[in-house]
Structure 1
Amino acid sequence: MASPGDPPGPDGTPGAHREESTAGAHGQEGADPRRWKALTVCLVSGFMTLLDVSIVNVALPSIRVGLHAPPSDLQWVVSGYALAFGLVLVPSGRFGDTHGRRSAFISGVVLFTLASMAAGASPGSTWLVVARIVQGAAGGLINPQVSGLIQQLFRGAERGRAFGLLGATIGISTAIGPLLGGLLIQLGGRQDGWRYVFYVNIPIGILAIVLAYHYIPGGGARRRREDMDPVGVLLLATAIFLVLLPLVEGQRWHGTGRWLLIPAGLLVLALYAGWERWYGRRHEPMVDLSLFRRRSYALGALIGMLYFGGFTAIFFILTQYLQEGLGYSALHAGLASTAFAVGAAPSAALGGRIVTRIGRRLVALGLVLVTVGLTALDLVVRLMPTPKVGWAMAVPLFVAGLGSGLVVSPNQTLTLSEVPISRAGTAGGVLQTGQRIGASVGIAAVGSAFFSQVASTHGDYARAFRHALLVNIAFLLAALVAALIDVLAEHRTRSASPRTPP
């Protein structure tokens, strides 16, 4: 915990960088010389796992033809991955904190590579669904180690730059997934092109495993088995499962009964919080709930959840509109979204460099730019509801991408700025779990608005897209409100701090 005399961190909270000094590193003195190479390995692997969230959407028609898959199995090819990914994030972060992040990272990459091999060789849709669930669990094992290793290997401004590269990776992987999927399907053909979507992970995974042994530092003291908090793991996994299941199954599970699972999940989550408080008085809990008493962490986690609710769903409805409404091929639909990635990559790198000076105001600026971009996108579709609209979307998507780069990585840097390194994996897992839940809520809400409008307007996809886009914008405005609350709180904190006499 920070003392009153500690200098304020980037979000204006006293002592935000105290953990850096207590970790024994001033600046980057004594830092691991392999840290940038280790980061490259982490980012490539993280890109591979996040890409598989979006790349499969454009492959579904090819999977349906190649495997004669029923709609229920196609839904599980997508939702099974997302569900397993979200379920294991927090326990995986905890496992990396307690047993060493390199071991957890390499185990995840090995499992992901094997599951990709099995998915590509699937003889039937049931086999593919199982492989995708294993893939999702492996992706959930890998990703908390990436944020944990950044916390472990980098300090100060370098940490911001590292998180900037991670933010660029997240933005590019989400936006470029449909394009890469379309290219691979074009190369492999309609019957078997979908297999290339999974096979492409195999050489990347093998290379990442070899390089991880060379560049990612090992070590990490093993703790007692009770420190893994098995009861807490079970309660949290149950709560996340109950909340996520009706969301990821929204297009297949009709009827109102599924929504009862969400309050049941919230009840189990309350039980989990009570258990962690009791367990924390005797042992080390899986998640230190005092993290949420830190303003930077609590508001940052909320911003991340709301932003991913609006951000991820953009590409879901965009590909639906272009492919189903305008008859675009998978490749052309993917090309239409690349402007977002082109904008996100440089702004994320820039955001990582300047976030420690500007703080949460940078995140607020990014959210404004994304909102402006999506509002302009609505106007483009309104004024040009023709097959040529895909090219006209480039400018507003580029603006939205610029804003996104100033949101994802700066928000992650600020949110984790006060987290001790020993808790970095767990804190990163909690943060990403919130993002997965936000993404699932966003896709469910935006998808519901889109498909209900398609049905009520007898196939007017342009109008449905604009209607659903308003839901995206609502999520972004809610995230902006949370960011502005933090900016105002930061201003009050700085105003109340005693000034040092000249």
Structure 2
Amino acid sequence: MEKHPLRWWALVICVLAVLVDMIDNQIVAVALPTIHHHLGAGEAAMQWISAGYALGFALTLIIGGRLGDRYGVKKLFLAGMTVFTLASLSAGLAPEPGLLIASRVVQGIGSGLMVPQVLSFIHTEFDEAERPKAMGLYAGAFPLGGLAGPLLGGVLTEADLFGSGWRAIFLVNIPIGVAGLVGALATMQTRPGSLRHRLDLGGLALLTATGFAVFYPLVQGREMGWPLWSILLMVAAVPLAGLCAVHQRRQERRGGEPLVPPAMMRVRSLWSSLTVMLWTQTAIGVFFMLTLYLQLGLGFSPVQASLSFAPGVIGIIVGNALAMNVAAKIGRSFLTVMTAVLAVSLASIALVIHAAGDNLNVWEMLGPIIFFSFGIGGVLNALFGTAMGQIQPQQAGAASGLVNTTAQLGQAMGIALFGTVFFSLLPDHGYQSATVRTIMVSIGVTLLALVLTAALPRQQQDEDKAPAPDRGMSSAPA
């Protein structure tokens, strides 16, 4: 296949899209208290504004890669970028919380259509000699976006550009999105998709219904006084999940393309890693509540709050580097130790908050934040490696889509869970006590993940590769 002469310029556009996605996933956190004051967003609304993006992203990500396979990578990338840009405009102009929440969900959907195309583009346009460099540029967008998101959110919110206030964190996406669309049209090569790829819309509907049954009552139930329907709806998530699993098996038997191939889920390294990842990502969601505590409870400015967490990028980089060099050699023991690090670091954050009280400052949080971020970097990198360690090459797309979907669902679940716990405790205990108690719940979730690491394979090479190929490959990011 002849190399596309503009492929490196096109890659720059693709990496920009991933960078914007990572920034937008994080940018809203430090702006939430300002949105709360200026837009009258209630407690549940703040949870939805933050979690809605991750939820929309997760539910679209699992099918986004297959849409690219079917209709073409460039078409889906352009469609996703267009949806994301228009949703950003809607979010920036939203006059009330409901429209802002809907816009955030649609932003996530746009990212779920756009981001999976990037890996597919890299594998299609670059040969084996060029691919490591291309993958390095792609991977670099994740820590950079994770760092830039909170900082940019704090700076833009406090700068009040042209009187826009918090709205600037969404409106800044408009020129970036337009530039991305023009750049993609000019540099990306149009390659036809394959209509032989079928879409499991029934599976997607059941998966969405299961997510709704969990998240909606979890977030709204507290404000409504936990009516009976909210409890029944959460209980209904169990049979809905079972029905989804039955549907996936039926799709596989009929020669279809299930969203979650059952044969692949029998691979121990994958299902055990997904289980641990779901709960570690849920535990990490406690930082949603910490951002609220710093600003609403202690009066930190958006910039001060963002700077409090910024040093965490050091821990993430070190944890990632350690995992890359050690995790495969040590195996399960590495993940067990790093999950314990998460629990201990959370306990240290709770102790600092309890001891400092209203006099808490950035420097007191520095060590615990770096320590916790070190655990995050090590755990997530090792989990991704373990999850993919026994997967056949032809299954990589579907497996990586499933891993990323699990990570996003865990993040949304953490925001929903800890937001509900925090706001339930707040009236009777005050900000400091409610924060410490919520962190204790997060420690409990982390300890559950620690116990579940026992199900991980000791070493990746202990078991055979997955026995059955996947019939329909996704191209979600790894």
| TM-score (norm: length of structure 1) | 0.78
SS in 1 for 2:79: helix
Q: How big is the shift at 1:264?
A: 1.6
Question: What is the rounded CA distance, in whole Å, between the counterparts of 2:128 and 2:382 in structure 1?
Answer: 13
Which residue of 423, 428, 449 maps to 2:400?
A: 428
Alignment correspondent of 1:393: 365
Q: How big is the shift at 1:138?
A: 0.9
Aligned residues of 1:43 and 1:169 also touching (Cα < 8 A) = yes
Which residue of 327, 332, 338 maps to 1:366?
A: 338
Alignment correspondent of 1:378: 350
Q: Which runs of 5+ in 1 are unaligned?
A: 1-29, 495-502
Which residue of 162, 187, 199 maps to 1:228?
A: 199
C-alpha change, 1:240 and 1:444, in structure 2 (3 Å) is closer
Q: How big is the shift at 1:491?
A: 8.2
Is residue 2:90 matched to residue 1:118?
yes
C-alpha change, 1:240 and 1:354, in structure 2 (3 Å) is same
Q: How big is the shift at 1:40?
A: 5.4
Question: What is the rounded CA distance, in whole Å, between the counterparts of 1:434 and 1:76 in structure 2?
Answer: 18
C-alpha change, 1:214 and 1:323, in structure 2 (3 Å) is same
Is residue 2:422 matched to residue 1:450?
yes
Greater Cα shift, 343-352 or 289-298: 343-352
Question: What is the rounded CA distance, in whole Å, between the counterparts of 1:403 and 1:162 in structure 2?
Answer: 27
C-alpha change, 1:444 and 1:123, in structure 2 (3 Å) is closer
Is residue 2:448 matched to residue 1:475?
no
Greater Cα shift, 194-203 or 249-258: 249-258
Alignment correspondent of 2:276: 303
Aligned residues of 1:38 and 1:212 also touching (Cα < 8 A) = yes
Which residue of 242, 249, 270 maps to 2:213?
A: 242
Question: What is the rounded CA distance, in whole Å, between the counterparts of 2:201 and 2:386 in structure 1?
Answer: 30
Is residue 2:304 matched to residue 1:332?
yes
SS in 1 for 2:358: coil
Map Cα deviations across residues 79-113 of structure 1 (whole Å, 9 max, x no partner). 44344233322222332344444432332122111
C-alpha change, 1:112 and 1:388, in structure 2 (3 Å) is same
Which residue of 151, 156, 159 maps to 1:187?
A: 159
Q: How big is the shift at 1:183?
A: 0.7
SS in 2 for 1:228: coil
Question: What is the rounded CA distance, in whole Å, between the counterparts of 1:354 and 1:159 in structure 2?
Answer: 24
Map Cα deviations across residues 422-450 of structure 1 (whole Å, 9 max, x no partner). 55444333223322332233233333433
Q: Which amino acid aligns with 1:96?
A: G
Q: Which runs of 5+ in 2 are unaligned?
A: 465-478
Aligned residues of 1:164 and 1:353 also touching (Cα < 8 A) = no
Question: What is the rounded CA distance, in whole Å, between the counterparts of 2:12 and 2:221 in structure 1?
Answer: 36
Alignment correspondent of 1:49: 21
Alignment correspondent of 1:348: 320
C-alpha change, 1:211 and 1:399, in structure 2 (3 Å) is farther
C-alpha change, 1:73 and 1:477, in structure 2 (3 Å) is closer
Which residue of 47, 53, 62 maps to 2:34?
A: 62
Aligned residues of 1:163 and 1:352 also touching (Cα < 8 A) = no
Alignment correspondent of 2:265: 292
Q: How big is the shift at 1:124?
A: 4.7
C-alpha change, 1:99 and 1:465, in structure 2 (3 Å) is same
Aligned residues of 1:116 and 1:135 also touching (Cα < 8 A) = yes
Q: How big is the shift at 1:231?
A: 2.2
Alignment correspondent of 1:12: none
C-alpha change, 1:211 and 1:406, in structure 2 (3 Å) is farther
C-alpha change, 1:60 and 1:447, in structure 2 (3 Å) is closer
Question: What is the rounded CA distance, in whole Å, between the counterparts of 2:438 and 2:7 in structure 1?
Answer: 42
Alignment correspondent of 1:27: none
Question: What is the rounded CA distance, in whole Å, between the counterparts of 1:162 and 1:412 in structure 2?
Answer: 19
C-alpha change, 1:47 and 1:161, in structure 2 (3 Å) is same
Aligned residues of 1:343 and 1:400 also touching (Cα < 8 A) = yes
Question: What is the rounded CA distance, in whole Å, between the counterparts of 2:250 and 2:31 in structure 1?
Answer: 47
Q: How big is the shift at 1:52?
A: 2.6
Q: How big is the shift at 1:34?
A: 8.4
Q: Which amino acid aligns with 1:291?
A: M
Q: Which amino acid aligns with 1:472?
A: S
- Compute the RMSD of aligned alpha carbons: 3.7
Is residue 2:377 matched to residue 1:402?
no
Within 5 Å, give how 1:97-136 maps onto structure 2.
Answer: 97-136=69-108
Aligned residues of 1:41 and 1:211 also touching (Cα < 8 A) = yes
Question: What is the rounded CA distance, in whole Å, between the counterparts of 1:380 and 1:120 in structure 2?
Answer: 36
Greater Cα shift, 120-129 or 262-271: 120-129
Alignment correspondent of 1:177: 149
Q: How big is the shift at 1:421?
A: 5.3
Question: What is the rounded CA distance, in whole Å, between the counterparts of 1:200 and 1:396 in structure 2?
Answer: 32
Aligned residues of 1:340 and 1:397 also touching (Cα < 8 A) = yes
Question: What is the rounded CA distance, in whole Å, between the counterparts of 1:212 and 1:438 in structure 2?
Answer: 31
Question: What is the rounded CA distance, in whole Å, between the counterparts of 1:475 and 1:214 in structure 2?
Answer: 47
Question: What is the rounded CA distance, in whole Å, between the counterparts of 2:322 and 2:177 in structure 1?
Answer: 29
Q: How big is the shift at 1:176?
A: 5.2
Aligned residues of 1:361 and 1:487 also touching (Cα < 8 A) = no
Question: What is the rounded CA distance, in whole Å, between the counterparts of 1:273 and 1:177 in structure 2?
Answer: 36
C-alpha change, 1:298 and 1:70, in structure 2 (3 Å) is closer
Question: What is the rounded CA distance, in whole Å, between the counterparts of 1:378 and 1:148 in structure 2?
Answer: 42
Count of residue pairs the alignment pairs up:
462
Aligned residues of 1:343 and 1:399 also touching (Cα < 8 A) = yes
Q: Which amino acid aligns with 1:289?
A: P
Alignment correspondent of 2:62: 90
Alignment correspondent of 1:498: none
Is residue 2:171 matched to residue 1:199?
yes
Q: How big is the shift at 1:484?
A: 4.1
Question: What is the rounded CA distance, in whole Å, between the counterparts of 2:339 and 2:135 in structure 1?
Answer: 18
C-alpha change, 1:278 and 1:166, in structure 2 (3 Å) is same
SS in 2 for 1:386: helix
Within 5 Å, give how 1:9-48 maps onto structure 2.
Answer: 41-48=13-20
Q: Which amino acid aligns with 1:184?
A: L
Greater Cα shift, 195-204 or 408-417: 408-417
Question: What is the rounded CA distance, in whole Å, between the counterparts of 1:41 and 1:358 in structure 2?
Answer: 37
Greater Cα shift, 256-265 or 162-171: 162-171
Paired-residue identity, %: 33
Q: Which amino acid aligns with 2:236?
A: A
SS in 2 for 1:404: helix
Question: What is the rounded CA distance, in whole Å, between the counterparts of 2:328 and 2:137 in structure 1?
Answer: 15
Question: What is the rounded CA distance, in whole Å, between the counterparts of 1:416 and 1:234 in structure 2?
Answer: 26
C-alpha change, 1:403 and 1:266, in structure 2 (3 Å) is same
Alignment correspondent of 1:497: none
Within 5 Å, give how 1:309-328 maps onto structure 2.
Answer: 309-313=282-286, 315-328=287-300
Q: Which amino acid aligns with 2:283?
A: G
SS in 1 for 2:61: helix
